[in-house]
Structure 1
């Protein structure tokens, strides 16, 4: 029987008690067979990125979902979302009134999977290593508020921050803060390839072909001590070239679960199906898509060009034609369900208008049509990306104000090129590191940002971001967060497009699928089990 499990959107942190009754046994599956999970995420090691799974380098949702199964962090986001809770730590908290000193006590008896003791010195080593390497992926920016790390004995770690940062507990739940063994990870060098070691719930063995990890087997780690309760003993992640191949494997029974990224057509078909032995699970998500600009590129250097694009793009039509009910138009970098969200782009531009865009360009003395290329990745955000960019091209060209071409590139080439500033306009997605407005703003606008963007707004960097981080009550940070979003809408270094839902398809005998992804698209393999679905 086909059952569609719908987890309704709710305020972050309120899902846990509602959903607590569903799931498999906490003692682990009795079956020795691995639960096989399909994904279209690609895991490649290249000359530009030879260390895709090093916590000091990895910074995309696919590699983070590998790391979260194997590398333990002091804090973790709980089932159902909400504020982070201790994981490798026994307790953590700010010890001052200014949110500048954060102390953690490790659990007693922590061990790496090889039996080595996990100590406070290992935590300090891991954090200091990520900061010192400062990989060009931009992930070290999550630790930018750390000044020094102090240890007291084997179990006490104290973080001295260089500025107030109420979001710091969230940052300690991300893989860049993962605890690594100094024996396995050199101090000043990334660990190339696909070997991965830690103290997390699973150990991992990778199957690598031609520099690409095509398969990974996660086996329950008997040394693990933490908050997670595993519903299985073994899970296998298998990478597919596209959504169609992944769907065919699910139909044949070669895999048990289909995760990101399914095509819109697959989601619609499975959601509407009756009968069969595959369940579709729909969950709220915080994934966003946006256009990013190299604001130094001649074609888009004048903000009037970027404003005109913001004035023309019809998000509602774009979403309706490509994603239907699977996404919603987005008028800010901050999703609508996050505290501090403001519809700044709608407030600035209102409904799409070619005439208003023409006025903007004429006033700035811009010769039309403006010629430019929109770049997108063909294999990282799903099969619908090409259609999405074809529609964006049509909307802009139909105005008569732009002469737009589009170009698709594989992620392994696209990402390094984007970071080097090779593209004038390019499409990106963002799966948040943690569910807070800060993580939808700082990674794009702060120094050493994720995009490597040349855009600089001193007030945002030096006043508004630090000001928002002083507020432990995130609702109290809304005024500074709104001001940031209004500035982005005015200067358009990025152009938000839509916010998506997320989906998993699982065979009928798989339990826990409703919890296999949290709102930040974190894959939680430990939630999956075999049995009768609840």
Structure 2
């Protein structure tokens, strides 16, 4: 039968304290074999990135989708929304009033997938290793407030922080803080390839062709001890060359769930007529898209050029032409649904205006038209990315102030080039590591930021970010957070464009789809089960 679109309201987050870490409530089973989830993400080991699944390196939503299933963290993000809850830990808490000493006690009986016990020393090893390697992906910056890690006995871990960090429990829920088996991970070197050794709910078997993982098969870990209820014995993430091939596999019953990235056209079609025994699940999303700038590059080094671009870009037109109701214009790095959001870019620039942009460039003695190339990735954020950049190109060139060309590059080449500073302007997306305003600001603006941006504002780094982290009540951090966003709007090291919803499509005998994505858009395969078709 045809199923209507299932829309999950944002109010689901209000249930999080009740539902957190309770496992699947749909009562699904695994009677039909492995539950297959399709994705257009690609998992490639290259000379520049030979260790795509090492927790000390991985820093994109695709690789985190693998690690979430296999590597345990002390804390975990709950269903819906809310503060993180213990996972590998039995309990975690700040033990001082200054939020600088954080103590976790491990659950009894934790084991790695090879049967060896997990101890406090293993946690210390894993954290110290990520910090020591300091991979060029920038993921270790999530742990930058750690001063030292102390193992007390077999089960107690003490984190001594350099400065107060109310967001630290969230950071311990991210894969970079995952507990790895010291027998398989060298302390000073990344682990190449696609093997993962952890204590999570699943064991991983990677199917690899030509240095690319085309399928990740997850088998339930019988030794798993944690907060999660695992509703299936086997699951699989299968990589497809494009969204059309993934859609055909779902409609044919070759896969059970279709995840990222669906095209806008597919979402529109599925919302009207999802097909036989298929449903579209529509959830609130925290994904953002933006343009980033190498502020040392000649074409955009002058702040006036970046400001003029911010003044010309028409977000409403961009969203309307490319994404429709699936996205909303964004006027800050922080999404409108996150505590601490401010419409700083709209406050600074108002509606798009060529005259105002021309005035900005004239005052700075910038010769027009400014020649720029906007770079985007062809295969990571979906097929609509090219259309998005065509609209941006048309908007900027129509002003007469810019002469813009666009260039698309596959993800495995795009990322190394971006990190080496090869691009002046490039487009990226951000799926939050955790749902807090700090995670939309510090990763872009702090020291060792993941963009490798040369932009450095001492007030943001030395005063405002630390001040915001001192506030356990995140609403009380609004003053510092707003000031950061206002500075970003003035200096434009990044240019926010839009925020989007998240979608999955699934066969209607699959249960648990309401929770298969967490608030950071990463997969929770343990929630899925196989039930009776409606």
TM interval, shorter chain, is over 0.9
RMSD value over aligned CA atoms? 1.6
Aligned partner of 1:298 in structure 2 is 298
Alignment of 1:34-183 (within 5 A): 34-183=34-183
Aligned partner of 1:201 in structure 2 is 201
Instruction: Name the CA distance, whole Å, in 1 between partners of 2:246 and 2:42.
Output: 13
Contact 1:24 1:528 in 2 (8 A): no
Aligned partner of 2:483 in structure 1 is 483
Aligned partner of 1:286 in structure 2 is 286
Aligned partner of 1:271 in structure 2 is 271
SS in 1 for 2:488: helix
Instruction: Name the CA distance, whole Å, in 1 between partners of 2:23 and 2:134.
Output: 41
Deviations 1:160-185 (A, max 9, x none): 00000000000000000000111010
Aligned partner of 1:530 in structure 2 is 530
Contact 1:23 1:533 in 2 (8 A): no
Q: Which runs of 5+ in 1 are unaligned?
A: none
1:344/1:118 CA distance change after superposition, 3 Å: same
Alignment of 1:290-329 (within 5 A): 290-329=290-329
Q: CA deviation at 1:14?
A: 4.3
Q: CA deviation at 1:402?
A: 0.1
Instruction: Name the CA distance, whole Å, in 1 between partners of 2:474 and 2:176.
Output: 23
Deviations 1:369-425 (A, max 9, x none): 000000000000000000000000000000000000000000000001001110000
Contact 1:374 1:405 in 2 (8 A): yes
Deviations 1:461-491 (A, max 9, x none): 0000000000000000000000000000000
Instruction: Name the CA distance, whole Å, in 2 between partners of 1:96 and 1:448.
Output: 28
Q: CA deviation at 1:23?
A: 5.2
Q: CA deviation at 1:239?
A: 0.2
Deviations 1:2-61 (A, max 9, x none): 1211111248554565999995555x6241510110000100000000000000000000
Contact 1:113 1:197 in 2 (8 A): yes
SS in 2 for 1:298: coil
Instruction: Name the CA distance, whole Å, in 1 between partners of 2:508 and 2:84.
Output: 31
Aligned partner of 1:361 in structure 2 is 361
- Verify: 1:495 aligned to 2:495, yes or no: yes
1:274/1:237 CA distance change after superposition, 3 Å: closer
Contact 2:19 2:79 in 1 (8 A): no
List structure 1 segments (4+ residues) > 6 angstroms apart after TM superposition.
Answer: 18-22
SS in 2 for 1:392: helix
User: Number of matched residues?
Assistant: 533
Contact 1:24 1:529 in 2 (8 A): no
Instruction: Name the CA distance, whole Å, in 2 between partners of 1:377 and 1:102.
Output: 39
- Verify: 1:462 aligned to 2:462, yes or no: yes
Aligned partner of 1:474 in structure 2 is 474
Instruction: Name the CA distance, whole Å, in 2 between partners of 1:512 and 1:246.
Output: 20
Contact 2:33 2:234 in 1 (8 A): yes
Alignment of 1:350-499 (within 5 A): 350-499=350-499
Instruction: Name the CA distance, whole Å, in 2 between partners of 1:290 and 1:533.
Output: 40
Contact 1:41 1:260 in 2 (8 A): yes
Instruction: Name the CA distance, whole Å, in 2 between partners of 1:526 and 1:49.
Output: 28
Contact 2:215 2:237 in 1 (8 A): yes
Aligned partner of 1:9 in structure 2 is 10
SS in 1 for 2:285: coil
Deviations 1:286-322 (A, max 9, x none): 0000000000000000000000000000000000000
- Verify: 1:260 aligned to 2:266, yes or no: no
Instruction: Name the CA distance, whole Å, in 2 between partners of 1:37 and 1:257.
Output: 5
> Bigger shift: 202-211 or 272-281?
272-281
Instruction: Name the CA distance, whole Å, in 2 between partners of 1:39 and 1:310.
Output: 33
> Bigger shift: 7-16 or 207-216?
7-16
Deviations 1:59-114 (A, max 9, x none): 00000010000000000001112100000000000000000000000001100111
Instruction: Name the CA distance, whole Å, in 2 between partners of 1:29 and 1:275.
Output: 24
Contact 2:290 2:495 in 1 (8 A): yes
1:30/1:208 CA distance change after superposition, 3 Å: closer
SS in 2 for 1:244: helix
TM-score for the superposition, normalised by structure 2: 0.98
Instruction: Name the CA distance, whole Å, in 2 between partners of 1:167 and 1:477.
Output: 12
SS in 2 for 1:286: strand
Q: CA deviation at 1:532?
A: 3.2
Q: CA deviation at 1:276?
A: 2.2
- Verify: 1:214 aligned to 2:214, yes or no: yes
Instruction: Name the CA distance, whole Å, in 2 between partners of 1:341 and 1:64.
Output: 26
> Bigger shift: 385-394 or 244-253?
244-253
